[in-house]
Amino acid sequence: MKLSEYLDYDLLCKHVNARVVNVQHHRFLPLAIYNYGQKATFDGIWDDVTEKCRGLIVDQSTDQIIERPFRKFFNLNTDFRPETKVENLPTSQPEILDKLDGSLGILYRYNGCRGIATRGSFESDQAAWASAWYEKHLGSAVWPVEYTPLFEIIYADNRVVVKYDYEGLVLLGAVHRETGAELPHVELFKLATLNGCRLASRFHKTVSECSCEDAPNLEGYVASWHYPDKPSLKVKIKFAEYCRLHHLITGISPKEIWRMLTAGETFDELTTNVPTHYADWVNAWKASLESEYGRIEQKAKAIYATCPLPKDGANKDLRKALAEFFTLGDRKQVSGVLFKMLDGQPYDDAIWKMVRPMTAGLDPFRRENE
């Protein structure tokens, strides 16, 4: 199937130009991978194109779709997706699989070359790790040529919330490139057994049972209703505790930690009952920002203490002389703090404003789109 046959090509071009959909090109193969970007996520731009561009791999020399991953799917009872509402779900029993907490890995194959891509990259850290792991452990694996095998990439440095006691690729599914139909778990089990590959666990539970659960160190479930000749209906059922931790990990940036410090807010929520690697990151940033605050404060105090002029800000002539002293050389960097000291005013805000550039443009602990 060609890209222009699979989706609205004009709308795709529009989305690419607006950075709603991102495109990355392979270093030496004529391949491009299409993935919805942060703009699509933040602005809620979900349509037939953005939902299909979730790691879609295309041969640019022929416009042929080389690999077709899962279409974007949503949480159970998502307000703007009627098909995810409990009352609108099929009455038949879905296939319930473990929702794993890593990165999606897409096996791509082209003229004897192969590798694992993530949703938006052939060269991300996760893609590089997964490609190397695949060659070492699954280099002789055999997959049906008309299907795209999909994996969860799990290793220590790629931890999001859940801590696993293993590393590797876990088979999640296989999507037919022409129809979008998925292989059922029973067929995936045969492939996993044949190739010596770990497989996502299946559970015999109802959607209602799944949605009532909450458990530590687990993400939740994926419910799928499979069809023989078209894409499956899929919904995510996430545990409340996982959602809480995921929000902290993907929503708290160094800038937010700076804001909390300026407001004198407690850090208990960010450091209690959270993964150790996240708490360490929060505490490290908190300490770093506080250290910079202390450095600036001590510098200002030292300059103020050694100023030979009388500290009389009300005297116009003295104030002018003090201003010259405060702004001479590198003293100028803290002159705003020095004037606050001179006038007997709180200087905390002035120092925190000087600290803020340390956090400029920095991402949260984990980006949502990874």
- Tokens, residue 2: 């060609």
Do 152 and 260 share a structural domain? no
Please give the model's pTM, rounded to 2 decimal places.
0.88
Q: Which CATH number is 118's domain given?
A: 3.30.470.30
For residue 124, the model assigns a pLDDT of 95
Do 215 and 80 share a structural domain? yes
The angle formed by the CA atoms of residues 211, 214 and 220, to the nearest 5 degrees, is: 65
Do 116 and 80 share a structural domain? yes
The angle formed by the CA atoms of residues 181, 148 and 189, to the nearest 5 degrees, is: 75
For residue 369, the model assigns a pLDDT of 53
Strands 168-176 and 198-199: parallel
Give me the number of domains the chain comprises.
2
Mean pLDDT by 10 residues, the chain (370 residues): 96 98 97 96 96 98 97 97 97 97 97 96 97 98 97 96 97 97 98 98 98 97 97 98 95 96 96 93 98 98 94 89 94 96 96 97 79
Do 258 and 148 share a structural domain? no
Query: Which residues neighbour 212 within 8 Å (Cβ) at sequence distance 6 or greater?
Result: none
Do 259 and 181 share a structural domain? no
Nearest CA-CA partner of 73 in 62, 63, 83? 83
Q: Which residues form the domain of 177?
A: 69-238
For residue 15, the model assigns a pLDDT of 98
For residue 46, the model assigns a pLDDT of 97
Q: At what angle do helices 316-326 and 335-342 cross, to 10 degrees?
A: 150
Strands 220-225 and 233-238: antiparallel
- Point out the domain boundary residue: 216, 238, 260: 238
Residue 179 lies in a domain: yes
C-alpha–C-alpha distance, residues 195 and 310, integer Å? 82
Consecutive H or E run containing 55? strand 54-59
Nearest CA-CA partner of 190 in 168, 174, 167, 166? 174
Output the CA torsion 201→203→209→211 (10° steps).
20
Residue 79 lies in a domain: yes
Consecutive H or E run containing 238? strand 233-238
Do 217 and 80 share a structural domain? yes
Could you tell me the CA-to-CA distances from 202 to 100, 107, 149 in Å, in that order? 12, 22, 17
For residue 370, the model assigns a pLDDT of 46
Do 263 and 343 share a structural domain? yes
Helix, strand, or coil (residue 9): helix
Please report where in the chains the tokens 């994926």 appear, as a residue: 222
Do 277 and 162 share a structural domain? no
Residue 282 lies in a domain: yes
Do 188 and 318 share a structural domain? no
